[in-house]
Chain A
C-alpha cells in the first residue's frame, strides 16, 4: 500500500520569508496529490492539488512541485504570514478519494 510521510514535523519561519514543506510518497502508481492546511480545532482545508502529468502548479501564494523520479513533492508558501501558521499535510492517491493516503503533518509556525 501507499505510505506518505513528511520530512519535518515542525518548521519555523520568519514572517515574510518563504516556506517550503516537503513530503515523500512510496507508491509509484500514485498519480494525484493534495496539500491540506489544518488550523487548531478545525478540519483540514484543501489548498492545492496536482496530477502526475504535471511537475508544478501554482495557486495564490502557494506552489506545489512534484518530482516523480524520487517520489517527492513540496509545498512552497510565498511571503509567509501569521495566518499561515497551521499543520500542513499531503495526501496521495492512485484512484478514488477513498484511496487517499495522508501524511502525518508538519506544524508551521510563523515568527514575528
Chain B
C-alpha cells in the first residue's frame, strides 16, 4: 500500500457542507496526489503537491482545495459539497524508477453527498 492511509474510508454528507479528506504517508515521498474515480470518467487528477506548501491544480480542481503543511499529510477539502462530488477519492504518491514516475494508490474514500 506504499504506506498510504486515507481517512475516513466512508463519508456521507449533505449538500453545502464542508468536507475534508486526509491522506497520510509514512515513507517521506515528495509528491502526493488526489484523484477522483467515476465510472464514466475513470481516474482524474484533482490536485497534486510537490512539497510542503507547494501544490498545483489538476484536471478537475474546481470546487476543491488542498493543503500540505507537513510532508506526510495531504488534505483535500470540499468547501461546499455538491452532489456532483459524490465519488471515490484516492490519494497517491509517486516513485521515480528508471526515469519514469509510478503512481501508488491508497485504499480510497467513498464520499456520498446527499
- With contacts A42-B108, A89-B42, A102-B43 known, is A97 near B90, CB below 8 A? no
What distance in Å separates the Cβ of A98 from its nearest Cβ neighbour in chain B? 5
Q: Closest residue of chain A to B50, judged by CB?
A: A98
Residue B101 is within 8 A (CB to CB) of chain A in the complex:
yes
Tally chain A residues at the interface, Cβ within 8 Å. 21
Size bracket, chain B contacts? 20 to 34
Determine which of B33, B40, B104 lies in contact with A98 in the assembled complex, contact meaning CB atoms within 8 Å.
Answer: B33
Complexed CA–CA distance, A41 and B100 (Å): 28
Stretch of A14-22, A44-52, A59-67, A77-85 contacting B (4+ beta carbons < 8 Å): A44-52
Residue B60 is within 8 A (CB to CB) of chain A in the complex:
no
Determine which residue in B4, B41, B58, B103 has the highest number of CB atoms from chain A within 10 A of its CB, and name it: B103
Contact mask for chain A residues 19-46; partner B; CB cutoff 8 A; 1 contact, 0 none:
0000000000000101000000111111
Q: Which 3 A-B pairs have the closest CB atoms?
A: A97-B101, A43-B105, A97-B94
Q: Which residues of B contact A (CB under 8 A)?
A: 1, 4, 31, 33, 39-45, 48, 58, 90, 92, 94, 98, 100-108
